[in-house]
Homo-oligomer: A and B are copies of this chain.
Amino acid sequence: MPQNDLIEAGTVWLVGAGPGDPDLLTRKAERLIAAADIVFYDALVGPGVRELIPAYVEQVNVGKRSGRHSKDQRTINDLLLEAAQAGRKVVRLKGGDPSMFGRSTEEIAHLAAHGIPVRICPGVTAASAAVAGAGVSLTLRGQARSVRFLTAHVRGDEPLDLDWNALADQQSTLAIYMGREAAPQIARALIDHGMAADMPALIAVNVSLPGERYLFTRLDRMAQLVPVVSGDEPAVLLIGEAVRRCANQQSIENDIATPMASLMADIAAAR
């Protein structure tokens, strides 16, 4: 049943959908979706989450994926504005957390410039869900005292323009979104800038979605695992002491995940 008071007419809510599993949506996000007239959703919003959108709510796919822009940011801004100006209750549903690489500020600025109120509902970001699924952590007392989130989206052969000296900090965990393609370059640059070649690394693929898998490896072998991840699969790279599995830690039972991960790690190690 719609909760008509949760969203004011003519307001836009930017809502985090979390990593994909509908159970990783917040209670608030679930209620906002049900209180909306119209939901604009991303390519990174999983099908399970979309099933939570009630039938009486209009759904608009504004999905973008690297290389396959279905709608550009300007078009999305205009669609949100138009819906709000028509007095509708608007939810802009974004994969993960809207404040993390979600281009929220562009939407907020455009709407604010036209006097549209914008509110934000945070979500679980992919890196948090990745380490949770893999049974490890992002920080480690005394050893991984900070976490750095970045994206490594590059076009073609364009080099990554990053401060490798700062990134090679062995007391910090790196969580790299959209890092699949750049993984070989990242590993090489980090090692060249002093990070240990055997630093634990984890490629988390389809986190919390069907086809979820966690490829535990080490920095100097990370690149060898790239071919087992398809370009269509969302992947997060995690690098640092915090993603090392504890001794005796039981494998997470993620359907096909663990056998495949072990197999691929063995293949990679044998090369």
Contacts and interface: CB of A to CB of B under 8 A. Distances in A.
A24 B106 CA distance: 24
A32 to B, nearest CB: 10
A211 to B, nearest CB: 19
A31 B248 CA distance: 28
Interface in A94-123: 97-106, 108-109, 112-113, 115, 117-123
B26 A140 contact: no
Interface in A147-191: 147-151, 163, 165-166, 169, 172
Nearest to A19: B122
A137 interface: yes
Contacts of A25: 26-27
A101 B139 contact: yes
Contacts of A149: 138-139, 146-149
Contact of A132 (B18, B98, B248, B252): B98
Contacts of A199: none
Grouping DSSP codes into helix (H, G, I), strand (E, B) and loop, the A interface class, with mixed when no group exceeds half, is mixed
Interface size class of A (residues with CB under 8 A): 35 or more
Contact of A124 (B124, B135, B166): B124
Contacts of A131: 99, 120, 122
Interface in A1-44: 16, 18-19, 21-28, 30-31
A142 to B, nearest CB: 10
Interface in A241-261: 242, 246-250, 252
A68 interface: no
A213 B165 CA distance: 36
Nearest to A248: B112
A23 B26 contact: yes
A125 interface: yes
A133 B18 CA distance: 17
Contacts of A77: none
Given A99-B131, A124-B123, A108 B249 contact: yes
Contacts of A166: 163, 165-166, 169
